Each structure stands twice: as structure tokens, then as C-alpha cells.
Amino acid sequence: MSALSIGDLARRTGVPVETIRYYERMGLLPKPPRTEGNYRAYEATHERRLAFVKRSRDLGFGLDAIRALLDLANGADRPCGEVDALARDQLAEVERKIADLTAMRAELQDMLGHCRNDTVADCEIIGRLRGK
């Protein structure tokens, strides 16, 4: 009844058309049926699956982890330990990145704070990049 074109799906989910095709190639989305004219024809199930992928991407999960999450999500009766482990790994990764970026921010702010807007020869930023 309510078949969606790839463009419709893109508009509804906020995922670009090219990215949807990419996810299909990568095995994250099933190959949808086609119309007579060879257009992809999506249903609500596809939209739900793509939304799941998008929310996972927005949390920074990699495509491998998302494939695993999608598989795990299908075993309703199974315990969710593996899901939680993936989420904890992702949290650890995010925290590592935040730590790295926070150190970069501190150094950049300090450099900028010490710069007297003088010549390059006296610039604290260049000085520190040169190693004092």
C-alpha cells in the first residue's frame, strides 16, 4: 500500500539517499523489493530499521556494532548483556575521545590566552608549536 521511494525514506529519516544505498551495500538494510521501473519500494519496517541505524549512528556506534545491535534486537527473549556490553564499549570510546579533545582544548585556549597579538616571532602559539 504505502510504498516509499528512497527519496521519501530519506526525507522521513533525515538520512541522505546516497547513505541509504550505502547502508544497503554494507548489509545494514535488507534489499527492498523493486517497482516495475526498478525503483526501491520501502515499507514501514524498512523505515523503522533505518531509524534504528540512524539513532545508533547519532550515538557514534560504528557500522559493525550496529549490525550486531540489529541482530541482538531480534532475539527478544535473550538477555541483554551483549547489548549492554556494546553500549559500554561505545561509552568508553566516547569518553576517551572527550578526554583527548579536552586536552586539546585546554592547550589551544592557553596558547590563545598568552598570545599578545604581536609579530610571529613573539607569538606564543608559534612558539609552542616549535617547542618553546
Judged by CB under 8 A, the stretch of 4-12, 23-31, 38-46, 96-104 that binds a second copy is 96-104
Q: Does residue 108 bind a second copy (CB under 8 A)? A: yes
3-state secondary structure of 42: strand
Rounded to 10 degrees, the C-alpha dihedral 6/51/3/12 comes to -70
Q: Does residue 123 bind Zn ion (CB under 5 A)? A: yes
Q: Is 131 left (phi over 0), alpha (psi -120 to 50) or beta?
A: left
> What does the block give as the cell for 60?
557514534
Q: Does residue 76 bind a second copy (CB under 8 A)? A: yes
Q: Does residue 36 bind a second copy (CB under 8 A)? A: no
> What does the block give as the cell for 6?
528512497
Q: How far apart are CA 103 and CA 96, in angstroms?
A: 11
- Binding residues (CB under 8 A) for a second copy: these are 48, 51-52, 55-56, 58-60, 69, 72-73, 75-81, 83-84, 87-88, 90-91, 94-95, 97-98, 101-102, 104-105, 107-109, 111-112, 115, 117-123, 125-126, 128-131
